[in-house]
Chains A and B, each alone.
Chain A
Amino acid sequence: MAGADGDDSLYPIAVLIDELRNEDVQLRLNSIKKLSTIALALGVERTRTELLPFLTDTIYDEDEVLLALAEQLGNFTMLVGGPEYVHCLLPPLESLATVEETVVRDKAVESLRKISQEHSPVDLEVHFEPLVKRLASGDWFTSRTSACGLFSVCYPRVSSTVKAEIRQHFRTLCSDDTPMVRRAAASKLGEFAKVLELDYVKSDIISLFTALASDEQDSVRLLAVEACVSIATLLPQEDLETLVMPTLRQAAEDKSWRVRYMVADKFSELQKAVGPEITKNDLVPAFQNLLKDCEAEVRAAAANKVKGKRLNIMLPFIRLIQYTNQHVKSALASVIMGLSTILGKDNTIEHLLPLFLAQLKDECPEVRLNIISNLDCVNEVIGIRQLSQSLLPAIVELAEDAKWRVRLAIIEYMPLLAGQLGVEFFDEKLNTLCMAWLIDHVYAIREAATCNLMKLVEKFGAEWAQNTIVPKVLGMANDPNYLHRMTTLFCINALSEACGQEITTKQMLPVVLKMSNDQVANVRFNVAKSLQKIGPVLDNNALQTEVKPVLEKLASDQDMDVKYFAQEAISVLPLA
């Protein structure tokens, strides 16, 4: 540490604080992110006596800034003079732990947890633990919520009297009248149980667990299920039956689907935590009920856990697909394709192929998409041709789905499909779709379609491009709609490299140059951008004789954006 406070007097704190107060949020944020630099310039002493009090006092700011501050302070121990002085960081972090915005608060708690480790046992009791108590008895729910995350880090390192106090505080928060606080306590219950002595787990934690698991709000109850995993791991086998299982059984039959969902979702962990005996007697029947649950969400969560179970249990469940609704189907669709590699060719054709075919016709687009997106697994086992007849209608329909995200997803699989189905099939059936996407009304789709063309050309080669794609793309340059005309330019940007110098110079360039006279400024400045983009592909002669004059003309355009991009292109391209 010696020498750390050398020439800091050069930097008056006022100047630095001005930076932290700048009116522009972005600048303020940048300054906060470099807080360590400021602290370094001030030296440890002035950081403690001047910078930290300033930060503590001016905590009212944009959440973005506070978040950065909360994160910085977690790494500040050395900058305030090492572990000996680490408690100086507590006041600003304490205020941050009380703000409303969850991400800020969580970050402050994370930093507090981190620096708690750097406190000596004495400091922990003198400085840190009182802070936890203050937060735990705060007026507004935010501070109490934050306190929940701090008990477990100080508990193991304090005296037994303080330990008793901490347990009492935790107990109080578990029955707080704000559900937000009870949720926070429930979510930390497992973690807190882990640091408690076994006797207290049995006496304190179990009663809290039971109470939270029968809370009036399902959002609290479901968190208790999560805690159940940790608690069950801590208890000896013989106590599980009496202390944990009644609550768990009740959770598996809770009237709220969210709680049952949680049981289904945590099934593997629970199974591990309670051991094979209880699993066989209790959990498996419960699991079977969850697979038949009246709520699709629950069944889907359970179905997701099917993978990895033995095959003979699995197949009957897979047949569930016919009876259940889209969530289950789409969850299963995403796992069953992977099963083909496990089942082998014959089993796949016998058991799975009919399902794939049925699912490709499913009314729900996500189901179809999940099948198509996992096609490569099946392709390895039985070859995609088996599916191609059913595949096509499914693809066509997805390509025209009303939701643009679905269309986007199918576009992304086009190169994969093209590769597996071959160029002939593609030209015959899919090419029209790919071209239709270019004039979709959603920009993201047009963009993806452009990118898709590039990948197809990489796959099928320049000659194929010249015959099938390029003429159509260039044809759109005369479209009355300026967005279509721009799409031509975007395609050219994407394709020029894959198509090579010949096609770019002879076919694409003339079209681009002609568009420099377009009446819409957006088109003209995209011409400038395109020229910059395809310049490297062109030969020098074309650059000097054809591109240069056009860019010079655009550089004196009346629209300032056109001018800007033309000038940029001129400065980037090697024009004489």
Chain B
Amino acid sequence: MMGDRPNPPRAMSSAATTSPSVDKVDGFSRKSVRKAKQKRSQSSSQFRSQDKPIELTPLPLLKDVPAQEQPELFLKKLQQCCTVFDFMDTLSDLKMKEYKRSTLNELVDYVTVSRGYLTEQAYPEVVKMVSHNIFRTLPPSDSNEFDPEEDEPTLEASWPHLQLVYEFFIRFLESQEFQPSIAKKYIDQKFVLQLLELFDSEDPRERDYLKTVLHRIYGKFLGLRAFIRKQINNIFLRFVYETEHFNGVAELLEILGSIINGFALPLKAEHKQFLVKVLIPLHTVRSLSLFHAQLAYCIVQFLEKDPTLTEPVIRGLLKFWPKTCSQKEVMYLGELEEILDVIEPTQFVKIQEPLFKQISRCVSSPHFQVAERALYYWNNEYIMSLIEENSSVILPIMFSSLYRISKEHWNPAIVALVYNVLKAFMEMNSTLFDELTASYKSDRQREKKKEKEREELWKKLEDLELKRGLRSDGIIPT
């Protein structure tokens, strides 16, 4: 993916002094060869579809029969809608497909406006109809290197029916007559588990509906809440540590965002563990950009609930800080700024040293977007006030990086930003600033000396290893 981008032009410092030229912009446009890829659709992986054409006996419309017969007819229609059609074959069963579509439409309207239709017998039939239609093994992803940022998602072929089934189910769950105490016999752990697996669907429209469905279920079935959270845990852990592939991470995080919002205080150990052992490691995934906004929202939600979690969260981010991927580094910096926006000064003090060591590394990144993003912190008034309060700790950490890049960075915009930062520091604490400027050289020399001592130590150790290796074979493992 990265390779798909042209190299950004490097130093233009000298070019800038001559005439402005075409070289000021990157010579290659992105549009070029990339052809718009055809949207393909895909059917669910139904194992062995039937060969015979499907026949459904048309039933009268619900509104055309007397009210007392409606519940019975409603059940019959639900049963008919359990029939699943093959949408990859665009020519088969056209009439019956249309019939099912109109029946589903009718059912959607019926649950929205009717009263008294939800008999106890209807619950298992509704759940059965929904299960028959939506639960299926998702088909394999069409291309091996599916890149959700670039490629068009494969769309579900049976959507014309599926959408109506989802629509119907949501109206059912939201209906005033809906009674969770009856429904919980049918909407159970197994049902939820299958529902969660569907979040891997490549079709964003389906994931959007699933989000609403799961949200409603979480809201109405108190007994399922812990189970749902645990299963989401498992999905995320598998995603992070085993497969790195799951299409619905953003949607699940969005739901979690609102769940976290509702957590009671003090937070249970289970929730804290979820934050530290699941949400933080989610930052390590390659496709972070696809769900970073939702993830950062969840993290900030946690910190607003319980500020004492700030330290473990920031330490976690520092531990997983990207080593090679600059785009990710920019995202981390963005999230960190969101965290700093809500940080309590007492928490800030606990974490400032390791934090600013990392920021100082970012500021001196040769990738100008990383450096720039980090330097923008100095435009944030709240962060500035925190830095000012703690300038005696932060300035010594930042100073040598800032001083060095003010002289060396290739990008003039960065150099300009660094000057502003240095100026701000000078105004904050001029005595310390002058001391650091004066000792800059000797500090560098001391560092170099230390470096040399290290080298000597290792050289001595290696000599020793050699000597001993010669003296008695087999001590040094190979």
**Given known A-B contacts A441-B33, A522-B9, A216 and B190 have beta carbons under 8 A apart:** yes
Does B64 belong to the interface (CB within 8 Å)? no
Chain B residue, CB-CB nearest to A139: B273
Partner of B476, one of A36, A254, A441, A444: A36
Q: Mark A253-270, 1 if CB is under 8 A from B, else 0.
A: 111111000000000000
The reply to whether A141 and B471 form a contact with Cβ atoms under 8 Å apart is no
The reply to whether A404 and B4 form a contact with Cβ atoms under 8 Å apart is yes
The reply to whether B47 and A253 form a contact with Cβ atoms under 8 Å apart is yes
Chain B residue, CB-CB nearest to A557: B14
Does A281 belong to the interface (CB within 8 Å)? no
Residue numbers in A under 8 Å from B33 (CB-CB):
400-402, 441
CB distance from A482 to the nearest CB of B (A): 5
Give A2 to B472 CA distance when docked, in angstroms. Answer: 9
- Bin chain A's interface residue count: 35 or more
Give the interface segment out of B23-31, B179-187, B213-221: B23-31
The reply to whether A519 and B49 form a contact with Cβ atoms under 8 Å apart is no
Does B139 belong to the interface (CB within 8 Å)? yes
Does A295 belong to the interface (CB within 8 Å)? yes
290-307 of chain A: CB within 8 A of chain B: 294-297
CB distance from A341 to the nearest CB of B (A): 28
Give the interface segment out of A37-45, A89-97, A157-165, A374-382: A37-45
Partner of A522, one of B11, B140, B476: B11
**Given known A-B contacts A102-B242, A178-B234, A4 and B47 have beta carbons under 8 A apart:** no
65-89 of chain A: CB within 8 A of chain B: 75-79
Give A549 to B394 CA distance when docked, in angstroms. Answer: 49
Give the interface segment out of B118-126, B250-258, B296-304, B453-461: B453-461
Give A234 to B35 CA distance when docked, in angstroms. Answer: 55
Does A200 belong to the interface (CB within 8 Å)? no
The reply to whether B465 and A19 form a contact with Cβ atoms under 8 Å apart is no
Interface size (B, Cβ < 8 Å)? 64
Give A437 to B381 CA distance when docked, in angstroms. Answer: 50
The reply to whether B458 and A257 form a contact with Cβ atoms under 8 Å apart is no
Give A482 to B6 CA distance when docked, in angstroms. Answer: 13
The reply to whether A257 and B137 form a contact with Cβ atoms under 8 Å apart is yes
Residue numbers in B under 8 Å from A308 (CB-CB):
none
437-490 of chain A: CB within 8 A of chain B: 441-444, 480-484
The reply to whether A441 and B45 form a contact with Cβ atoms under 8 Å apart is no
Give A558 to B11 CA distance when docked, in angstroms. Answer: 12
Residue numbers in A under 8 Å from B49 (CB-CB):
294
Give A179 to B7 CA distance when docked, in angstroms. Answer: 43
Does B65 belong to the interface (CB within 8 Å)? no
Chain A residue, CB-CB nearest to B194: A216
432-478 of chain B: CB within 8 A of chain A: 454, 457-458, 461-462, 464-465, 468, 471-472, 474-478
The reply to whether A40 and B241 form a contact with Cβ atoms under 8 Å apart is no
The reply to whether B140 and A257 form a contact with Cβ atoms under 8 Å apart is yes
1-44 of chain B: CB within 8 A of chain A: 3-7, 9-15, 18-19, 21-23, 26-30, 32-35, 37
Does B46 belong to the interface (CB within 8 Å)? yes
CB distance from A253 to the nearest CB of B (A): 7
Does A316 belong to the interface (CB within 8 Å)? no
Q: Mark A400-416, 1 if CB is under 8 A from B, else 0.
A: 11101100000000000
Residue numbers in A under 8 Å from B465 (CB-CB):
36-37, 40-41
Chain A residue, CB-CB nearest to B240: A100
Residue numbers in B under 8 Å from A560 (CB-CB):
408
**Given known A-B contacts A179-B238, A404-B4, A481-B22, A256 and B27 have beta carbons under 8 A apart:** no
Does B61 belong to the interface (CB within 8 Å)? no
Residue numbers in A under 8 Å from B474 (CB-CB):
78
Does B115 belong to the interface (CB within 8 Å)? no
The reply to whether A100 and B238 form a contact with Cβ atoms under 8 Å apart is no
The reply to whether A442 and B3 form a contact with Cβ atoms under 8 Å apart is yes
**Given known A-B contacts A4-B468, A521-B14, A294 and B462 have beta carbons under 8 A apart:** no
**Given known A-B contacts A4-B468, A78-B475, A442-B4, A559 and B13 have beta carbons under 8 A apart:** yes
Does A561 belong to the interface (CB within 8 Å)? yes
Partner of A140, one of B22, B277, B472: B277
Does A572 belong to the interface (CB within 8 Å)? no
The reply to whether A402 and B22 form a contact with Cβ atoms under 8 Å apart is no
Does B281 belong to the interface (CB within 8 Å)? yes
Does B319 belong to the interface (CB within 8 Å)? yes
CB distance from A260 to the nearest CB of B (A): 8
Residue numbers in B under 8 Å from A15 (CB-CB):
457
The reply to whether A559 and B11 form a contact with Cβ atoms under 8 Å apart is yes
Give A400 to B32 CA distance when docked, in angstroms. Answer: 10
The reply to whether B18 and A256 form a contact with Cβ atoms under 8 Å apart is no
Does B357 belong to the interface (CB within 8 Å)? yes
The reply to whether B6 and A441 form a contact with Cβ atoms under 8 Å apart is yes
Does B48 belong to the interface (CB within 8 Å)? yes
Does B259 belong to the interface (CB within 8 Å)? no
145-190 of chain B: CB within 8 A of chain A: 145, 190
Partner of A180, one of B32, B34, B145, B242: B242
Residue numbers in A under 8 Å from B349 (CB-CB):
none
Does A576 belong to the interface (CB within 8 Å)? no
Does B237 belong to the interface (CB within 8 Å)? yes
1-50 of chain A: CB within 8 A of chain B: 1-4, 6-7, 11, 15, 19, 23, 27, 34, 36-38, 40-41
Give A23 to B450 CA distance when docked, in angstroms. Answer: 13
Chain B residue, CB-CB nearest to A482: B23
Does A520 belong to the interface (CB within 8 Å)? yes
**Given known A-B contacts A481-B23, A520-B12, A180 and B238 have beta carbons under 8 A apart:** yes
CB distance from B189 to the nearest CB of A (A): 10
**Given known A-B contacts A40-B465, A255-B47, A443 and B6 have beta carbons under 8 A apart:** yes
Residue numbers in A under 8 Å from B478 (CB-CB):
75
**Given known A-B contacts A4-B468, A561-B11, A295 and B319 have beta carbons under 8 A apart:** no
Partner of B462, one of A37, A179, A401, A558: A37
Chain B residue, CB-CB nearest to A480: B22
CB distance from B286 to the nearest CB of A (A): 14
The reply to whether A482 and B9 form a contact with Cβ atoms under 8 Å apart is yes
CB distance from B224 to the nearest CB of A (A): 15
**Given known A-B contacts A41-B464, A62-B319, A482-B23, A34 and B458 have beta carbons under 8 A apart:** yes
Residue numbers in A under 8 Å from B424 (CB-CB):
none
Residue numbers in A under 8 Å from B12 (CB-CB):
520-521
Does A282 belong to the interface (CB within 8 Å)? no
Q: Mark B110-152, 1 if CB is under 8 A from A, else 0.
A: 0000000000000000000000000001011000010000000
The reply to whether A34 and B461 form a contact with Cβ atoms under 8 Å apart is yes
Q: Mark A547-570, 1 if CB is under 8 A from B, else 0.
A: 000000000011111000000000
The reply to whether A521 and B193 form a contact with Cβ atoms under 8 Å apart is no
Partner of B457, one of A19, A76, A521: A19
Chain B residue, CB-CB nearest to A363: B38
Residue numbers in B under 8 Å from A36 (CB-CB):
465, 476-477
Chain A residue, CB-CB nearest to B451: A27
**Given known A-B contacts A34-B461, A100-B241, A561-B11, A520 and B477 have beta carbons under 8 A apart:** no
State the A residues within 8 Å of B (CB).
1-4, 6-7, 11, 15, 19, 23, 27, 34, 36-38, 40-41, 62, 75-79, 100-102, 140-141, 178-180, 183, 216, 218-219, 253-258, 294-297, 327, 400-402, 404-405, 441-444, 480-484, 519-522, 557-561
A sample of 16 cross-chain residue pairs with beta-carbon separation below 8 angstroms, ordered by A number, consists of A3-B471, A6-B468, A76-B477, A78-B475, A100-B241, A140-B277, A180-B242, A216-B190, A257-B137, A294-B49, A402-B35, A442-B3, A483-B7, A483-B9, A484-B27, A519-B21
Ranked nearest first, the 4 interchain pairs of A and B with the lowest CB-CB distance are A481-B27, A75-B477, A441-B28, A297-B140
State the B residues within 8 Å of A (CB).
3-7, 9-15, 18-19, 21-23, 26-30, 32-35, 37, 45-49, 137, 139-140, 145, 190, 193, 234, 237-238, 241-242, 277, 281, 319, 357, 408, 410, 454, 457-458, 461-462, 464-465, 468, 471-472, 474-478
14 more A-B residue pairs beyond the given contacts A34-B461, A79-B475, A519-B19, with a C-beta to C-beta distance below 8 A: A6-B468, A11-B461, A40-B468, A40-B476, A100-B241, A216-B193, A255-B47, A256-B45, A294-B45, A294-B47, A441-B29, A520-B9, A521-B10, A521-B14
